Amino acid sequence: MVQADIEAFWADFEQEIGEKVLSKTMSQHFTSRKSQGEWGLLVLTPSAIRFRPTPGENWFQSLFRMASPKVPQEQAADIVLPLTYITAIELPKKRFFDFLFSPPFTVFTLRYRLGDEEKSLLLGVDPKTELFTKLLAIFPVSKRP
């Protein structure tokens, strides 16, 4: 992809969602702590955080597949979480050997309120990204037990 294509993609993206993109990065969304997760774009806008799944297989699965990858016909819907719903970011507790055995991405939980219900969204992101730094500056941070 050339720079013009990238700029056109993000201009189309902003037009589609009706908001300016403040920050963006690659991310993973997990349905549970044991799930493999799905890759996508994590996007911060003035009103929400959005996860847009990117269809396809991960690189590891593609090593063992002889046929072409299975890509869904329909794109999965975005996960959109209004910033006003988010109550905290829960970070994993650091353990002694984490620097050797943990994944390069930080897996964190976004806690949010939907009506009277407390819910969570489990995401993985490179901790050095601008988006992650912005999230840590906006929301209270707690450590997972």
Residue 123 three-state SS: strand
Q: pTM higher than 0.85 for the full model?
A: no
User: pLDDT tens track of the chain, all 145 residues?
Assistant: 688 888 999 999 999 999 999 999 999 999 988 888 899 999 999 999 999 998 765 444 444 444 444 544 566 789 999 999 999 999 987 766 655 656 668 889 999 999 999 999 999 999 899 999 999 999 999 887 6
Per the CB < 8 A criterion, the answer to whether 125 and 106 are in contact is: yes
Q: Could you tell me which of 69, 15, 24, 88 has the C-alpha nearest to residue 50?
A: 24
Looking at residue 103, its pLDDT comes to 62
Looking at residue 61, its pLDDT comes to 46
Looking at residue 56, its pLDDT comes to 61
Where is 98: in which H helix or E strand?
Answer: helix 98-101
pLDDT tens column, 88-103:
999 987 766 655 656 6
User: What domains sit in the chain, N to C, each tagged with a CATH number?
Assistant: 3-143 (2.30.29.30)
CA 67 to chain centre: 28
